[in-house]
Amino acid sequence: AVEVTLLPSSPDAPFDLHAELAGSAINLSFGVPPDNGSQIIGWQYSTNNGTDWRSLAGVTGDGMRRSATITHESTGDGNTALQAGHQYEVRVHAVNGVGSGPDSQPVTIGLPNAGAPAKPTGVSAAPAGDGIGVDFTAPNQGDSAIIKYQYSTDDGATGTDAPTAGA
């Protein structure tokens, strides 16, 4: 009989990364990757698509999901707070005794300008007559009342005013 011993390797990439706004912070949730024979001992995040990395503190969860909140950019010394009006390309990777694993797929999230409303949540769309009906939960309005909603069919390059109905 031949005995084969597999050496541990760095963990696989976290999967199913989600990012949600929480005031001036970003709440992350992600799937735990295989540790490949060496226990995961930490997590790191990047807010600039993998160029700069910082330790991801306060990771919670059990089973196959984890969550954490980031409040600072990963650039420079890591002490710059996330900035209103900026878009962030966030990635996460796991660290074990062998080293850092590959990066998760990126998620892009922007912090609204001060006073601007947050984004609608619970968005769903379905055919409605000769158009598309969209349902959503209205966001926090920010510093002033929401006066209209807009939609885009070209990834946000242009916006068209949307008629609204409901409570």
pLDDT at 84: 86
84 neighbors 75 (Cβ within 8 angstroms): no
> Which spans in the chain are helix H?
none
Could you tell me the two tokens for 160? 């068209």
Burial status of residue 46 (CB atoms within 10 A of its CB: 0-12, 13-18, 19 or more) = buried
> How distant, in Å, are the alpha carbons of 31, 131, 132 from that of 125?
27, 10, 6
Which pLDDT tens digits describe the chain residue by residue (167 residues)? 888 888 999 999 999 999 999 888 999 999 999 999 999 999 999 999 999 999 999 999 989 999 999 999 999 999 999 998 899 999 999 999 999 999 999 999 988 777 777 788 888 889 988 888 888 888 877 666 788 888 888 888 888 888 776 65
pLDDT at 144: 66
Q: Provide the whole-model pTM.
A: 0.71
pLDDT at 166: 60
Give the span between the Cα atoms of 48 and 121, in whole angstroms.
25
DSSP E strands: which ranges in 81-120? 87-96, 107-110
